[in-house]
């Protein structure tokens, strides 16, 4: 009989927390008991898991006694404050916030990229930033084949990456504009409908080097997971008026030249990637097609005409699934498989 686990979802009532529950069920993760945890205002709410109504409890350290996997999407300040207590209670914390990502004692893991790092945990494993996850799923096979030395990426990130209120703001603002009515934006610093905002996150985003914190996450997380601080990375992160899925235009420079055909073959053989690249028939990855899917879609692969050892590609993924919830569940699957 296969082992079953006690799983806690912290931040269960949020967009990502609910998706974590859905994916645990979809992937048939061996859950013996699930604990749904959230803030005081969600106490007593009931959410469905495998057809059963589960009551939401208040997130507190004592809730993690007897828990095997604590999957967190409760915000960075809560994750930082409670993380060590969760680990001391005997649970493995898989955290979706940025709180632990750059801690040298905490593995930062994408199962298709660096699964071996998950086994080095000391009770906490960090889930990378959504944009970094999809980029590195696409780039890891190319890195293995030709060694990437430089990455320049521009992201086109959906409003779902900023939460439920941001999605609603796009919907309401779009409706108001189409009716010729005024709408006061509350989530974003500028109107999001029919507009692109080169600022993520939407508040306190810019550092002393004029890069945003989201952009620097892509720099630092790439170097950590590739175990190479010499890789040069430059990112520009843009919020675009779509509801779900992130897209990225990526340019890489490699040590060894890869042709378009070679790159497509490498990508096609890699786990977690679906190549959609048929320019003659206008087939390439679209954000609408990626919603609700766990694969990272790659297309528009072409040799960079400005440099000998460069490649361009277009990458799309569901940021709530592979960019957050699915990746966290896959980490739990890695650990469960290793313990059998």
Q: What CATH number did the domain enclosing 329 receive?
A: 3.40.50.720
If asked whether residues 175 and 290 sit together in one domain, one would say yes
If asked whether residues 181 and 227 sit together in one domain, one would say yes
If asked whether residues 209 and 186 sit together in one domain, one would say yes
Single out the catalytic residue among 121, 130, 173, 237. Answer: 130
If asked whether residues 32 and 118 sit together in one domain, one would say yes
Closest CA to 10 of 127, 177, 130: 127
Taking CB atoms within 8 Å and a gap of at least 24, the contacts of 273-279 are 273/137, 273/138, 273/141, 273/297, 273/298, 274/298, 275/299, 275/301, 277/301
Mark whether 246 is an active-site residue.
Answer: yes
**pLDDT for res 291:** 95
Mark whether 315 is an active-site residue.
Answer: no
Report the distance separating Cα 100 and Cα 122, nearest Å.
12
**pLDDT for res 1:** 43
Q: How many domains does the chain have?
A: 2
pTM for the whole structure: 0.95
**pLDDT for res 2:** 74
If asked whether residues 200 and 98 sit together in one domain, one would say no
If asked whether residues 184 and 230 sit together in one domain, one would say yes
Report the distance separating Cα 276 and Cα 283, nearest Å.
6
**Domain containing residue 146: CATH number:** 3.30.360.10
If asked whether residues 235 and 193 sit together in one domain, one would say yes
Q: Which domain holds residue 296?
A: 132-319
If asked whether residues 176 and 230 sit together in one domain, one would say yes
If asked whether residues 163 and 35 sit together in one domain, one would say no
If asked whether residues 315 and 328 sit together in one domain, one would say no
Single out the catalytic residue among 121, 143, 173, 246. Answer: 246
If asked whether residues 157 and 271 sit together in one domain, one would say yes
If asked whether residues 196 and 123 sit together in one domain, one would say no
Q: Which of the residues in the chain have pLDDT under 50?
A: 1
Q: Do the bridges between strand 232-239 and strand 148-157 make them parallel or antiparallel, or are there none, so unpaired?
A: parallel
Residue-level length of the chain: 340
């Amino acid at each position: 009989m296969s082992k079953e686990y006690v799983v806690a979802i912290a931040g269960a009532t949020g967009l990502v927390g609910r998706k974590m529950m859905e994916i645990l069920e979809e992937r048939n993760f061996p859950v013996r008991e699930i604990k749904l945890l959230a803030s005081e205002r969600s106490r007593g709410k009931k959410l469905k898991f495998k057809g059963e109504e589960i009551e939401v409890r208040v997130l507190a350290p004592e809730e993690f006694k007897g828990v095997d996997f604590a999957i967190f999407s409760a915000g960075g300040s809560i994750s930082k404050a409670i993380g060590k207590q969760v680990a001391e209670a005997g649970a493995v914390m898989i955290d979706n916030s940025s709180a632990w990502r750059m801690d040298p004692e905490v593995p930062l893991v994408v199962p298709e990229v660096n699964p071996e790092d998950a086994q080095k945990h000391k009770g906490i494993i960090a889930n990378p930033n959504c944009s970094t996850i999809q980029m590195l799923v696409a780039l890891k096979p190319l890195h293995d084949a030709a060694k990437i030395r430089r990455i320049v990426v521009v992201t086109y990130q959906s409003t779902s990456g900023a939460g439920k209120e941001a999605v609603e703001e796009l919907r309401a603002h779009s409706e108001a504009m189409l009716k010729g009515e005024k709408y006061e934006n509350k989530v974003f610093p500028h109107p999001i409908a029919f507009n692109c905002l080169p600022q993520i996150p939407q508040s306190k985003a810019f550092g002393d080097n004029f890069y945003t914190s989201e952009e620097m996450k892509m720099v630092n997380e790439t170097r950590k997971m590739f175990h190479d601080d010499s890789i040069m990375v430059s990112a520009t992160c843009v919020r675009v008026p779509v509801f779900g899925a992130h897209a990225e235009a990526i340019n890489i420079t490699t040590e060894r030249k890869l042709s378009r055909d070679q790159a497509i073959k490498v990508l096609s053989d890699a786990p977690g990637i679906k190549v959609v690249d048929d320019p003659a028939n206008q087939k390439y990855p679209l954000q609408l097609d990626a919603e609700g899917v766990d694969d990272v879609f790659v297309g528009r692969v072409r040799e960079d005409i400005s440099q000998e050892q460069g490649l361009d590609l277009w990458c799309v993924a569901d940021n709530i699934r592979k960019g957050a919830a699915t990746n966290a569940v896959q980490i739990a699957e890695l650990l469960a498989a290793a313990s059998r």
